[in-house]
Chain A
Amino acid sequence: MRSAWRWLLVITLSASGSQANANDWNMPVGVTDVSADIFGLHMTIFWICVVIGLVVFGAMFYSLFRYRHSKGAKAANFHEHTSVEVLWTAIPVLILVGMAVPATATLKNMYDSSDAELDVMITGQQWRWRYEYLGEDVAFTSNMSTPRTQVSGAETRGEHYLLEVDEPLVLPINRKVRFLMTSDDVIHSWWVPDLAVKQDTIPGFINENWVTINEPGIYRGQCTELCGINHGFMPVVVHAMEEDEFDGWLAERKEAAAEEAMGVDREWAMEELVARGQEIYQSICSSCHQAEGQGSPPAFPALANNEQLISDVDWHLNKVINGVSGAAMPAFRSTLNPVEIAAVVTYTRNAWGNDTGDVVQPSEVAELIAQ
């Protein structure tokens, strides 16, 4: 069945005389069984529509041409024929039933996320994705890595413009992976066309979806639910690896996470924290508070020369850890670890003329979070 659709696609492609990849103008066949099934449904219903269209528009244009007033056509006066009407009601019903059966089967399969070998928690945040490998102590956020200079046109746009991230979601092939999806702020939607996974991430809800990838590769998608200013700059990148390669990667990440956890207890130097904090600021905070901390009031207050921020370190820490309810500022207590929070707060308190000289140690942050 699947190969039949691929074959059909090849015909269509060559008929159009285009050298373009089908993905450039049609739905991708994708790299999972589900995505291939969906592609099959898509092409089936498409050709059904084409055939119905040819019949209906054919009859219409024949009538328009054949019965022109200008050619002296005389109008007939019939205006009803119940059996014909019943017939053309019944035929669409049968076609639709024929369509509903395979669609139901595919949908049931898509909803069956049982027996997954790996659980990944996906959390939407304005405007990044957070991935957490449940039970593995590995978690990270994934931000768009396309520089703003490319968006403004000051720099030439790269091949994967807007569809590239600092850290992709890494998944194994041939294993059933279950996604648990939620959001920290507004509704986002996580979509990778090649995986045929699109699911809203909704605050207060945990949605499920799953994927078994058949081929290794890098698959790109985007947030598809309007989620604020940077909705268009929230790409999804999935890096699908061979199974042993994935296991190696996961072990490495676990080790690094453990090392980071150790770092909470030691005393950090200011330069270390500022360097680390600058990276975090640029990838996470700058989308709202801007690269130079100037913000964009009234929605996003300036951090540079912010009197309250400069004078009150506890207030500053509280906002970063617990967020601001009713505003766009999220709580970072669970998304960033104490080292990262300490680093970014230290950086913010010493950048852009905020020269407070304050150093916030990771241990202090850990204590605050524990409270």
Chain B
Amino acid sequence: MSPKLPPQPHLQHSSTAVSDGQSQSHAAPPKGILRWLLTTNHKEIGSLYLIFSLTMFFVGGIFALVVRAELFQPGLQLVEPEFFNQMTTMHGLIMVFAAVMPAFTGLANWMIPLQIGAPDMALPRLNNFSFWLLPVAFALLLSTLFMPGGGPNFGWTFYAPLSTNYAPPSTSFFILALHMAGISSILGAINIIATILNMRAPGMRLMDMPLFVWTWLITAFLLIAVMPVLAAVITMMLMDINFGTSFFNAAGGGDPVLFQHLFWTFGHPEVYIMILPAFGIVSAIIPTFARKPLFGYASMVYATAAIAFLSFLVWAHHMFVVGMPLVAELFFMYTTMLIAVPTGVKVFNWVTTLFRGSISFESPMLFALAFVVLFTIGGFSGLMLAIAPADFQYHDTYFVVAHFHYVLVPGAIFAIMAGVYYWLPKWTGNYPNERLAQWHFWFSIIGVNLTFFPMHFAGLAGMPRRIPDYALQFADFNLLSSIGAFFFGASQLLFVLGIILCVRGGKKAPAKAWEGAEDLEWTVPSPAPLHTFETPPVFHRISH
């Protein structure tokens, strides 16, 4: 983008602000439910996203607990394998598409305009549409559980032909739901790109942007690049199921492996879509509580770009055992090992930011530090999985389950929680109850490790994924995991309690709620008024 900031968007915005439509909505927003249905305010839509995501986090969590309850001991006690498969599938789909992704979009909605000094998102009505697609999409998806033949039961990766010729009749609804979620993501991404590129405060160049904004800019491009691939692959499924095509049906001349190539062309960048904004949040929190600028800001931006770019070249490492040619195995092994390098750069930079800082341990910082440690552990198991010959033993076992839960739960989700605790004073004007937040943190840490660490051992000892019952030698690990899962699940109620208490009251926060916080959002009052930066702020460059 042009390095010199175009002033036009601001002029446009302030000129519409004084025209009748805008000022009217300032004066009297609709009351009750309509206010939320019709809102075009980035803060309200951000809150809607976050509330939706938190709700879905619990829905997906309950599905996970059904799975863990069944796996508490060997044998089938609670559910039939058919329902078990629906639970594992729905848990994955809900957590990926309805919990983690909307949470990041919610944070983006709230924070990107505040961090770049913009009055709102560039396309407010589109913003409203993007959000309201989601409840519809996931209501539809959840309703498939009550349809004859049950909901999706083929895993969140929905490999054909299990998900086409052998799928339950509700699969077409699953496809429609995913299409809607995909449209929502694409529109959200377009909105974020348009906002970041056009609406920065005068004087703020791209390279002055906070890292959360940077990582989201790159994430948004990833979304636009890969969501259409997902749309294509599920449309091909729809055709196979309903219109007699044979894209993935070997009997009709189709190719089941093609499905996996397409799916992971989407799926691997998707993994980074769920982690890059987390990098951004942690890169905001660690400098704040170390009271020291982020080490290697430039490298952080470049490493994010490098990760995003490499993420398109590694997809087939999910397919090391499908029987690819040797050359392809080697290619994807090398690219996958290379992606560890920029990821390592990030971790080193966070640690060096802490070095010779002045560190305090408020709840956002605790979650961010736990993120660094536990995400790195997930990265290590990722590196092990990258070694293609060893992957022949790891593939589709609980070792993989442990790996991706380490990067997603104490990775993405801890970063989201860190962000929530960090920005709650800005959103509500009150500090969250620190004692409660600390309890939440320590319970979560114990729960998450108790749940997922034993899975490494179960996987190495030979337990496959997605089985409703298991051989007796895996019993101890599963017992621990199940206890951990219920403990983790229950401790998340403290999170909800903390948020509710914080919304209702608490210690009042000043505009700059944290001593070391530097970005633009801390220049507006706490709580942030409904409309901020209607006059663009003057951006003073911090010497990065």
A41–B296 alpha-carbon span in the complex (Å): 34
Q: A56 contacts which chain B residues (CB < 8 A)? A: 347-348, 351, 376
Task: Please state if B470 and A299 are interface contacts (CB–CB under 8 Å).
Answer: no
Task: Please state if A53 and B471 are interface contacts (CB–CB under 8 Å).
Answer: no
Task: Please state if B373 and A60 are interface contacts (CB–CB under 8 Å).
Answer: yes
Task: Please state if B326 and A111 are interface contacts (CB–CB under 8 Å).
Answer: yes
Task: Please state if A230 and B81 are interface contacts (CB–CB under 8 Å).
Answer: yes
Q: With A25-B460, A79-B295 given, is the CB distance from A73 to B354 under 8 Å?
A: no
Q: B81 contacts which chain A residues (CB < 8 A)? A: 229-233
Most chain A CB atoms below 10 A, which of B165, B349, B457: B165
Q: A231 contacts which chain B residues (CB < 8 A)? A: 81, 85, 466-467
Total count of chain B residues near the partner, CB < 8 A = 95
Q: Report the minimum CB–CB distance from A56 to chain B (whole Å).
A: 6
Question: Is B544 in the interface zone, CB < 8 Å from A?
Answer: yes
Task: Please state if A67 and B376 are interface contacts (CB–CB under 8 Å).
Answer: no
Q: With A24-B461, A26-B461, A157-B75 given, is the CB distance from A328 to B356 under 8 Å?
A: no
Q: With A203-B251, A231-B466 given, is the CB distance from A226 to B154 under 8 Å?
A: yes
Q: Report the minimum CB–CB distance from A73 to chain B (whole Å).
A: 4
Q: B457 contacts which chain A residues (CB < 8 A)? A: 24-26
Question: Is B334 in the interface zone, CB < 8 Å from A?
Answer: yes
Interface residues in A82-131 by Cβ distance below 8 A to B read 84-85, 88-89, 92-93, 96, 99-100, 103-104, 106-108, 110-111
Q: With A37-B389, A41-B390, A204-B255 given, is the CB distance from A100 to B337 under 8 Å?
A: yes
State which of B321, B341, B348, B470 has its C-beta within 8 Å of the C-beta of A200.
B321
Q: With A45-B390, A110-B389 given, is the CB distance from A88 to B348 under 8 Å?
A: yes
Q: Report the minimum CB–CB distance from B428 to chain A (whole Å).
A: 25
Task: Please state if A229 and B85 are interface contacts (CB–CB under 8 Å).
Answer: yes
Among A133-141, A159-167, A336-344, A359-367, the one that faces the other chain is A159-167
Among B114-122, B132-140, B285-293, the one that faces the other chain is B285-293
A324–B372 alpha-carbon span in the complex (Å): 53
Interface residues in B34-85 by Cβ distance below 8 A to A read 74-77, 81-82, 85
Question: Is B519 in the interface zone, CB < 8 Å from A?
Answer: no
Most chain B CB atoms below 10 A, which of A161, A163, A200, A296: A200
Question: Is A269 in the interface zone, CB < 8 Å from B?
Answer: no
Interface residues in A44-65 by Cβ distance below 8 A to B read 45-46, 49, 52-53, 56-57, 59-60, 63-64
Interface residues in A201-239 by Cβ distance below 8 A to B read 202-205, 207-208, 221-233
Question: Is A298 in the interface zone, CB < 8 Å from B?
Answer: yes
Question: Is B462 in the interface zone, CB < 8 Å from A?
Answer: yes
Q: Report the minimum CB–CB distance from A215 to chain B (whole Å).
A: 18
Question: Is A42 in the interface zone, CB < 8 Å from B?
Answer: yes
A157–B292 alpha-carbon span in the complex (Å): 60
A49 nearest in chain B by CB position: B380
Q: With A199-B321, A298-B149 given, is the CB distance from A222 to B291 under 8 Å?
A: no
Q: B468 contacts which chain A residues (CB < 8 A)? A: 232
A99–B389 alpha-carbon span in the complex (Å): 12
Question: Is B333 in the interface zone, CB < 8 Å from A?
Answer: yes
Question: Is B359 in the interface zone, CB < 8 Å from A?
Answer: yes
Q: Report the minimum CB–CB distance from A17 to chain B (whole Å).
A: 16
Task: Please state if A96 and B396 are interface contacts (CB–CB under 8 Å).
Answer: no
A25–B476 alpha-carbon span in the complex (Å): 10
A232–B467 alpha-carbon span in the complex (Å): 5
State which of B74, B159, B351, B465 has its C-beta within 8 Å of the C-beta of A224.
B465
| Interface residues as binary, B330-372 with A (CB distance below 8 Å gives 1, 0 otherwise) | 1001100110110011011101111111111000000001001
Q: A307 contacts which chain B residues (CB < 8 A)? A: none
Q: Report the minimum CB–CB distance from A302 to chain B (whole Å).
A: 15
Question: Is A70 in the interface zone, CB < 8 Å from B?
Answer: yes
| A-B pairs with beta carbons under 8 Å apart, 21 shown | A45-B383, A45-B390, A67-B357, A69-B291, A75-B356, A79-B292, A79-B296, A89-B345, A92-B340, A106-B389, A150-B75, A151-B75, A157-B75, A193-B462, A224-B464, A224-B465, A226-B159, A228-B166, A232-B464, A232-B467, A326-B165
Interface residues of A (CB under 8 A from B): 23-28, 34-35, 37-38, 41-42, 45-46, 49, 52-53, 56-57, 59-60, 63-64, 67-70, 73-81, 84-85, 88-89, 92-93, 96, 99-100, 103-104, 106-108, 110-111, 150-153, 157, 159-163, 181, 185-187, 189, 191, 193, 196-200, 202-205, 207-208, 221-233, 296, 298-299, 325-328
Given contacts A27-B393, A231-B467, 19 further A-B contacts (CB under 8 A): A41-B389, A56-B347, A60-B351, A63-B351, A63-B357, A64-B359, A64-B369, A69-B359, A76-B357, A77-B293, A88-B344, A89-B345, A100-B337, A153-B75, A157-B75, A162-B74, A163-B471, A204-B254, A226-B466
Q: Which 5 A-B pairs have CB atoms at the shortest separation, nearest pair first?
A: A204-B250, A232-B467, A207-B323, A49-B380, A69-B360
